[in-house]
Structure 1
């Protein structure tokens, strides 16, 4: 099953799809570096992002 995530940053329309949660998170890291460099991917933020990943 494919995993899907809409960016959790207000106003950002990016979405990510991948085969696994780990693949989604790898893409999240790249997206954050490119589009939201001021966002800190600390444990709390990573947990919040992971909680928004859904199976499609």
Structure 2
């Protein structure tokens, strides 16, 4: 199981899924709906990916 806690200050969202790809897909959806001002550029995507932990 993979887990990602939202990196945006003040947001307590947590995403869990079986694979990193699933977590990233859910993170993209979360960012679009909850943080539309967040730009998902390569640097941000890499920061998100590196914050995923194995649980």
State the TM-score, normalized to the length of structure 2.
Answer: 0.98
Segments of structure 2 that go 5 or more residues without pairing to the other structure are none
* 2:24 is the alignment partner of 1:25: yes
**Alignment partner, residue 49 of structure 1:** 48
Which 4+ residue blocks in structure 1 deviate beyond 6 angstroms?
none
- Whole-Å separation in 1 of the counterparts to 2:10 and 2:20: 23
Q: Give the gaps of 5 or more residues in structure 1.
A: none
CA RMSD of aligned residues (A): 0.3
> How big is the shift at 1:28?
0.5
